[in-house]
Structure 1
Amino acid sequence: MTAINPDAPILVTGGTGYLAGVIIAQLLDAGHTVHATVRDPDKRDRLAALDALAATSPGSIRYFRADLRDPEAFGPAMTGCELVIHTASPFIAHVADPQRDLVDPAVEGTRNVLTAANATESVKRVVLTSSCAAIYGDNADIAAMPERKLTEAVWNTSSSLRHQAYSFSKTLAEKAAWEIAGAQSRWDLVTINPSLILGPGIDPMTSGESYALITQIGDGTMAAGVPDFRIGAVDVRDVAAAHIKAGFTPQAEGRHILSAHNTGFVEMSAVLRDHFGSDYKFGKSILPKFLVWLAGPMINPALTRKMVSRNVGIPFIADNAKSRTALGMTYRPLQATLTEHFQQLIDAGRITSKQ
């Protein structure tokens, strides 16, 4: 059992990221001191949303320059911290060089953060943002799993540099983390394994795959038909809360699936269409799988035919029981997550009606 002193500073890596921003917001709101690593603390425009939160909350924030690939970067930021929350890792659907752009920064970044934890006497616990992608690569994998659902006992064995490279990077990074944690006994490791994270972030101009998906559902990209991708979804605010609970729950251990809803693009489109009506370009019909298979690679290089074959129309089922019992998690309704995320995009002018 590990007890964390709430008065000690808490390190959050990747401070300007989508998830990290919400974690930091919740920590500041609770009165904690946050050490946030960012690429360049001198670019104040990138820190404006965090600065605004700190100005109106009981907590405080300090910024530290750090790059995932720099093995010396995290020591200064970690000084005095008992809890380290490592969120920084690239989440990009399509890259030119998967080894360089996904695997290397994910694995090396994890190794660098945990090596710094080994060298920092104050550290007692590291909470790592992993992913359900470290548990499975394709929906087709789930059918061969015990009880045909994702559990924390399972690891992704189907991804590679050539197929589902992002999932491959998350698998290798989490395995590296457990290897490093197992080689010492001063600090312990807890991982959070979310499915697709959605919901409003602290900055409406945030980029990334989650914002891109919600935009595409409502901007006409899927107006001709919605591909039947089955996915898990979870609110970013719930994932942030889970990281903090994992940090401060003394008996927390191991991996934790964070997935509130077994859903898909079709259901997500329907939820948004029911709420916002016909003012936006939501798709209504389901795009036949053979058309997704045929045209997908030409529309988006990430939609390879193997990826389409092994995912479209195939159920996604995840077991979130451990998060509920071990961390006391409760989850927001899918409607709240989606409508509040979409409304944030409307308010920011990133999505306009078809009128």
Structure 2
Amino acid sequence: MILSPIVLTGATGYLGSHILTQLLAKEYEVRITTRNLQRTQQDPLIKELLDKYPGKLHIYEADLLEEGSYDEVMKGAKALIHAASPFKIEGIKNPKKELVDPAVIGTRNVLNAASKGDIERVIQTSSIVAVYGDAIDVEMIEGDTFSEKNWNATSSISHQPYNYSKTVAEKEALALSLTSKWSLASINPGFILGPALTKRTDSTSVDFMLNLLNGKMAMGMPDLYFGVVDVRDVAGAHILALENQDVKGRFICCNQSLTMLEMSNILSKEFGKKYKIGSRVLPKFLFYILGPIMAGLTWSYVKKNIGIPLKFNNTRSTEELGVEYRPVQETIVDHAHQLIKDGILKK
């Protein structure tokens, strides 16, 4: 059964814009939410989609932290994809205000509004960091591979606050689902990379790619592992979960674990010497000295993450949702080309 209209939060974000375009391409009627209606109406991508899909895209004003502000958009809608949540890991001054409250209170307000309306299906964007907090957590689990049965039990508001915010937000959604008429599936993406549909630069993924290409890592980089996944595949996973109403629970959406050096090597093969791409790993002890000054890496983060491999079991996403992951080389190269094309990365 096709569930439509669909409410989508976070539609102008890096991931949300891909979810929105894929939904509209499949002829769904979509309602998106924004805190600033006038600004969103002038967004180049939204203007393009309004023209391309007349009568299919509708914009509502709502605020994650304002109780009741999502009541109107939920009326008559059949499904919800809740993708709005801040992704910020540097420069955090007040983690409760900047991360935890928007994630947890926002989830509560959005899902309570869904329960008041006719929503039958909810897809929540969670994160792989709700599965683990630091790479060293692998020592606490059976085997050496994280799966959906694992929960982040080591992050807190003072250590890895972003990871903590995603964990408590997912648990909040799970708790609310137990007494609601709608069914819930949570998508837990790894580190999302791949080409953006907008020229926005306020993205951790954009910062990461720029740092690999602009010379910041030319002298060397930490031996850090990332569970990489393409933004287009994550968007597709949300829609697959929406359409398969029999699937419930958590779905790790992660293609392959790569080190920063492995990603740099992929870029070097594509771009040669056009950019100052790093080609070596610096020893861990240097980051105890330089990390807090140069990269904002705490001693605790260095100890618990650098040099520790990560592995994830994505079987549920491939076998139950039917996600077909594109090669990571394609993800990384396409992302770099998009940054160059949009003038974000200078030649």
TM-score w.r.t. the length of structure 2 is 0.97
Q: State yes or no: 1:244 paired with 2:239.
A: yes
Deviation at 1:48, TM superposition (A): 1.6
1:171-228, Cα deviation, whole Å (9 max, x unpaired): 11011111111123x1111100001011012113342101110011001111110211
Specify the SS of the correspondent of 2:119.
coil
Instruction: Give the structure 1 partner of residue 38 of structure 2.
Output: 42
User: Which residue in 2 is equivalent to 1:132?
Assistant: 128
CA deviation string 1:118-155 (max 9, x = no partner): 111x2001100000110100000013212211100110
Alignment match, 1:315: 309
Q: Deviations over 1:225-268 (max 9, x none)?
A: 02111110100000000000101102111000000011121111
1:44 is displaced (CA, Å) by: 4.5
The 3 A distance-change label for structure 1 pair 191 and 149 is: same
Q: CA deviation at 1:74?
A: 1.0
Displaced runs of 4 or more, over 3 A: none
Provide structure 2 residue ranges, at least 5 long, that are not aligned to the other structure: none
Let me know the Cα RMSD of the aligned residues: 1.3
Q: Which amino acid aligns with 1:81?
A: A
Q: What is the match of residue 286 of structure 1?
A: 281
Letter in 1 for 2:49: L
- SS at the partner of 1:221? coil
1:42 aligned counterpart, secondary structure = helix
The change in CA–CA distance for 1:151 and 1:115 in structure 2 (over 3 A counts) is same
User: Are 1:232 and 2:227 an aligned pair?
Assistant: yes
Q: Secondary structure at the match of 2:18?
A: helix
Q: Aligned equivalents of 1:65 and 1:45: distance in 2? A: 11
Going from structure 1 to structure 2, the CA distance change for 1:202 and 1:245 (only over 3 Å counts) comes to same
Partner Cα distance (1:52, 1:65) in 2: 19
Shift of 1:59: 7.1
Of stretches 324-333 and 73-82 in structure 1, the one that deviates more from structure 2 is 73-82
Q: Does 1:18 align with 2:17?
A: no
Q: How does 1:197-276 map to 2 (within 5 A)?
A: 197-276=192-271
Alpha-carbon separation, structure 2, partners of 1:264 and 1:79: 46
Counterparts of 1:205 and 1:175, CA distance in 2: 30
Q: Which residue of 1 aligns with 2:64?
A: 68
5 Å matches for 1:152-167? 152-167=148-163
Matched position secondary structure for 1:146: coil
Pick one of 107, 111, 114 that aligns with 2:108.
111
Q: Does the alignment pair 1:335 with 2:335?
A: no
Return the offset for 1:100: 1.1
* Aligned equivalent of 1:91: 87
Structure 2 CA distance for aligned equivalents of residues 47 and 37 of structure 1: 13
How many residues were matched structurally?
A: 346
Q: Is residue 2:315 matched to residue 1:324?
A: no
- Which whole-Å CA distance do the structure 2 matches of 1:293 and 1:74 have between them? 46
The answer on whether the counterparts of 1:28 and 1:59 sit within 8 Å (CA) in structure 2 is no
SS at 1:279 equivalent: coil
CA contact (8 A) 2:19 2:239 kept: yes
**What is the Cα deviation at residue 32 of structure 1?**
1.1
Distance 1:76 1:69 in 2: 15
Shift, 1:282, TM fit: 0.4
